[in-house]
Amino acid sequence: MNLIFLGAPGVGKGTQAKMLSYQLHWPHISTGDILREAVRRETPLGREAKRYMESGELVPDQLVIDIVKERLEESDTFKGFILDGFPRTVEQAEALEEFLSSKKRPLSAVLYFEASTEEIVVRLTGRRSCRSCGAIYHLVHQPPLNQERCDKCGGELYQRSDDQEETVRNRLKVYEVQTAPLISFYEKKGLLRKVKAEGSVEKVYSAVKNVLGLA
């Protein structure tokens, strides 16, 4: 299946995408992860993206579109993929549609994760991520055994710089203006599937599998 996970920052897209990818062996393609890695390695892309990411703004469309197209040319995506955090603007969605239709690889569904703003702020401010393997934790909801080390690989846990309260607020505003229009964009195409993203990680995962007919 060719899937998009859509929803506000911090709603739990990455957590669910990692679980589904692990179970079904479809690659999880997170533009946020790709960009953070480029920033960490100080590549030209990373240097360009950094200033946008730190303020919670979107990186210019063309940069992100090129990254995703290149990734979708890799053979591990031919049997299916999960796009997380892309597309984020109508321009990105149209570019993706054009690319996939030229390859005769249409989208199967767009999962739209819904949760209240209060829940999202709690999730983002308590998030910790592993610098080595990218595992995602929450200090209260999904606590690591040791607050500084990843349970899975022992890597260092850190708080993303864009999870500071002021940047979180800007990310939510940017989402409402630039990304939320994609809900009706995909609804009109008959691809949107709503997932209630409140409740435990396991409960949300069951909802994801139900929506995809995998339960």
Least separation in angstroms between CB 31 and ligand AP5:
3
Is 131 noted as a catalytic residue in this protein?
A: no
β-strand partners of 128: 137
Q: How far apart are CA 138 and CA 125, in angstroms?
A: 9
Q: Which among 88, 123, 128, 193 is annotated as catalytic?
A: 88
Least separation in angstroms between CB 188 and ligand AP5:
20
Q: Per residue, what are the HEC states of 14-43?
A: HHHHHHHHHHHCCCEEEHHHHHHHHHHCCC
Least separation in angstroms between CB 109 and ligand AP5:
17
Q: Which among 36, 123, 127, 128 is annotated as catalytic?
A: 127
Q: How far apart are CA 92 and CA 182, in angstroms?
A: 10
Is 160 noted as a catalytic residue in this protein?
A: yes
Binding site for ligand AP5 (CB under 6 A): 7, 9-15, 31-32, 35, 52-53, 56-59, 64, 85-86, 88, 92, 123-124, 126-127, 136-138, 141-142, 162, 171, 200-201, 204
H or E element at residue 157: strand 157-158
Is 127 noted as a catalytic residue in this protein?
A: yes
Q: How far apart are CA 71 and CA 63, in angstroms?
A: 13
Is 149 noted as a catalytic residue in this protein?
A: no
**Active site residue ranges:** 13, 88, 127, 160, 171
